[in-house]
Structure 1
């Protein structure tokens, strides 16, 4: 079973670091200036933890 990845859009500042580091899991919605978790994304992807660690506001949780 894949890990669940969550991104708190209220906290997201739209820096897109997660999208740059892990485009297979995170997308960016320019109309709201926020990142989001892609539908059906694999939470076990190697880049997820790196993206969560790189988030400047720590709004990504993996578990």
Structure 2
């Protein structure tokens, strides 16, 4: 008889590897710091994604 190779269903993590949430635009933002911008007179908040490290800034009026 020959050797039987078990064909297993690939796990979801392996199946979708490289197709992460961040690539689809669903980041997990965390606040880095909130400096005050004296030129605009606004509070500027810097965010960094916990998964991929991308940064964004957001200015809000007081």
TM-score tier by shorter-chain length is under 0.3
**Larger strand proportion, structure 1 or 2?**
2
**Larger helix proportion, structure 1 or 2?**
1
| TM-score of the pair, normalised by structure 1 | 0.24
Q: Flag the structure with larger Rg.
A: 2
